[in-house]
A and B are shown apart, each in its own frame.
Chain A
Amino acid sequence: AQKITQTQPGMFVQEKEAVTLDCTYDTSDPSYGLFWYKQPSSGEMIFLIYQGSYDQQNATEGRYSLNFQKARKSANLVISASQLGDSAMYFCAMRVTDSWGKLQFGAGTQVVVTP
């Protein structure tokens, strides 16, 4: 069975600072993908960044980067230079190839960016 764990229910960060959101996972499938989504208060799910289990390099996408440590089964999201618009719920999710492509989500981390 697969499991995704986000242990930080909420975080405050000051504008322009970096913030790291933790995500650990567990799966016996060697082929998996890890995704981060942002959910603002309006409710929609916005895809941020993806990391594949076989990727050699950490994924980056603008101000978002993923600190992927495969041996520790962690895939932490780093948001650099936080902006007020980054205030949202952030979900880590995993997809394994040996399934019908469903995503399994963590509990989420609420980020509040303060001026």
Chain B
Amino acid sequence: EPEVTQTPSHQVTQMGQEVILRCVPISNHLYFYWYRQILGQKVEFLVSFYNNEISEKSEIFDDQFSVERPDGSNFTLKIRSTKLEDSAMYFCASSEARTANTEAFFGQGTRLTVV
């Protein structure tokens, strides 16, 4: 069964450093998403991406964050200068369509720890 894959599974970085989280969505999917889950809290939407551009973003997704699809298969989330409060699990998801009845498939997550 096709799946969304994320790398790395764990990343530890120093405050102020840049990190890139990588995702390979399911190949025929067109809509891509990043979500964040701070430990013990709920899953929060960060950004959606369609047709090589951001379609929607939350207020969490400030200028420190960026996304791109550099080569038609990978979908990356970059955090420019990490802060302690960026420590969280980051989930990538992809979907065939944006309709309400379409399932979003999640990757296994990247646990980011900023020290």
B75 within 8 A of A: no
Q: How far is the CA of A29 from the CA of B98 in the complex (A)?
A: 14
Known A35-B103, A43-B111; further 6 A-B contacts with Cβ < 8 A: A33-B100, A44-B106, A47-B105, A102-B33, A106-B42, A107-B42
Bound CA span A50–B99, Å: 13
Q: Please name all residues of chain A whose beta carbon is closer than 8 Å to the beta carbon of B101 when the two chains form the complex.
A: 33, 50, 52
Q: Is the CB of A103 within 8 A of B45?
A: yes
| A45 near B109: Cβ-Cβ < 8 Å | yes
**Distance of A53 Cα from B89 Cα, bound (Å):** 30
A-B contact count (CB 8 A): 76
With an 8 Å Cβ cutoff, the count of chain B residues facing the other chain is 30
Residues A102 and B45 in contact, CB atoms below 8 Å apart: yes
Given the interface pairs A43-B108, A100-B48, the reply to whether A105 lies near B42 with Cβ below 8 Å is yes
A112 to B45, CA, bound (A): 27
Report how far A107 CA is from B42 CA in the complex, Å. Answer: 5
Q: Is the CB of A101 within 8 A of B97?
A: yes
Cβ contact within 8 Å between A50 and B103: yes
Residues of B bordering A, CB below 8 Å: 31, 33, 35, 41-45, 48, 50, 55-56, 89, 91, 93, 95, 97-109, 111
One of A13-21, A72-80, A89-97 contacting the partner: A89-97
A60: chain B residues within 8 A (beta carbon): none
The chain B residue with its CB closest to the CB of A30 is: B100
Query: What residues of chain A lie closer than 8 Å to B100, measured between beta carbons?
Result: 29, 31-33, 52-53, 95-97
Is A83's CB within 8 Å of the partner chain B? no
Chain A, 32-65, CB within 8 A of any chain B CB: 32-33, 35, 37, 43-45, 47, 50, 52-53
B43 adjacent to A105 (CB under 8 Å): yes
A101 with B104: in contact, given A45-B91, A91-B43, A107-B42 (CB under 8 Å)? Answer: yes
Known contacts A107-B42, A108-B42; A100/B98 CB under 8 A: yes
